[in-house]
Amino acid sequence: MGRSADALAPMQKAAALSPGDVEAHYNLGVTLQDWDAWTRPRPVPAGATDQPNYTDAHSNLGVTLQELGHLAEAEASYRRALQINPDYAAAYSNLGNLLKGQGRLNEARQLPTCAGD
């Protein structure tokens, strides 16, 4: 709805009140992604990947890290998402774009195709 700045404080509170709630942390991550203040440094939300098998959290964390310029960490997040779900198309796309952006075209081309998520 374009109101990520308004949603940020409530999402942070929900994540703080429910440290084990994967969805609360996922929603906070999505809110941070949508928020149009990428130029301001801010920490990755605590607990974003507390659930080691939550594919969306790892993939979205990768997007956030990539936008913040933490490319090695972003790559690791995408690869973790793909370890969990080898058919996760969004993570392949994000990883391929990251590799392409780094001039690592051969690596990007060698990524397996997937059935989709």
In a domain, 70, yes or no: yes
Do residues 115 and 67 both lie within one domain? yes
User: What digits encode the pLDDT tens for the residues 41-70?
Assistant: 444 554 555 556 778 878 888 887 888 788
Give the Cα separation of 112 and 86 in Å (integer).
Answer: 9
pLDDT over 90 percentage in the chain = 21
User: What digits encode the pLDDT tens for the residues 68-77?
Assistant: 788 998 999 8
Do residues 58 and 34 both lie within one domain? no
Q: Alpha carbon of 47 to those of 9, 17, 24, 29, 55: distances in Å?
A: 16, 12, 10, 10, 14
Do residues 96 and 64 both lie within one domain? yes
Q: Is 115 helix (H, G, I), strand (E, B) or coil?
A: coil
Number of domains composing the chain: 2
Do residues 56 and 80 both lie within one domain? yes
Do residues 32 and 78 both lie within one domain? no
Give the Cα separation of 44 and 94 in Å (integer).
Answer: 18
Domain interval for residue 16: 1-38
In a domain, 19, yes or no: yes
